[in-house]
Amino acid sequence: MTSKQFTSVWLREPRKAASPGRSRDEIVSATVELLDAEGLNGLSMRKLGAKLSAGATSLYWYVANKDELLELAYDQVWAEMSVPDPDEVGWRDSAAVLAHSMRQVMLRHPWSADIVGRMPALGPHAMHVADRMRRMFKLAGFRGTEIDFAGSTLTAFVFGMTIPEIAWDTATSGDDYDPEAMRDLVRKAAARYPEMLASIDMDRYDDPRVVRELCFDFGLVSMLDGLERRLTTA
């Protein structure tokens, strides 16, 4: 039995079309637009070809399959993330800006949440972010494998906070969603738990986006405090 070999669009030279046509940048841009509008299930070579006014078969000059197309689009998501130079702003500010930027980018492109951990991030933009993360945590004082551990801690926090947020937004995006009816159901479920009821009835609960932002910032600061504490007690 032969094992499945790992492949990636980033591990070979870019394909060149045999005749003039759309550039790869145009194809990637159109792919991201289609994914933003219809999600992963709405992406197909046929739809993309129609969007570009090109035949689906012509797209295979640039990518071998749909997964390679997704890799290109996924790297474009990383291109939108802000990572200030830690040598200029300090490691904590650089990490905080990246974390908030990463969350916002994922919220703008909710389909990316379904790719995290499933598709390799080997493109130049993802590598740039990873390189800056290594620099920020090396500057903080971490050494050896702990540099990578600190980077994994940061991304795990962002993904862990943001992916459920995207899932909830997706589930409640329809016109038939009634937030007050949902709140009533939660109140009934939490009737025996006064602490839960107290949080449900908070006035600011009416603006969940503000609460999510505050929650994210609280967790981020706590996580960075923990990393900094680890350095001072080592």
**Is the separation of the CB atoms in 151 and 137 below 8 Å?**
yes
Q: In angstroms, rounded to a whole number, what is the distance separating the alpha carbons of residues 129 and 125?
A: 6
pLDDT for res 20: 54
Q: What is the pTM of this model?
A: 0.86
For residue 12, give the DSSP letter. Answer: S
b/e string for 95-112 if b means 16 or more Cβ within 10 A?
bbbbbbbbbebbbebbbb
**Is the separation of the CB atoms in 71 and 123 below 8 Å?**
yes
Q: Rounded to a whole number, what is the distance in angstroms from the first to the last CA of the chain?
A: 48
pLDDT for res 174: 67
pLDDT for res 15: 64
pLDDT for res 126: 96
pLDDT in tens, the chain (234 residues): 555 666 788 887 766 655 556 778 888 999 999 999 999 999 988 899 888 887 666 777 778 788 889 999 999 999 999 999 999 999 999 999 999 999 999 999 999 999 998 888 899 999 999 999 999 999 999 999 999 999 999 999 999 999 999 998 888 776 677 777 877 888 888 888 888 777 765 555 556 788 889 999 999 999 999 999 999 876
b/e string for 171-201 if b means 16 or more Cβ within 10 A?
eeeeeeeeeeeeeeeeeeeeeeeeeeeeeee
Structural domains of the chain ordered from first start: 9-77 (1.10.10.60), 83-233 (1.10.357.10)
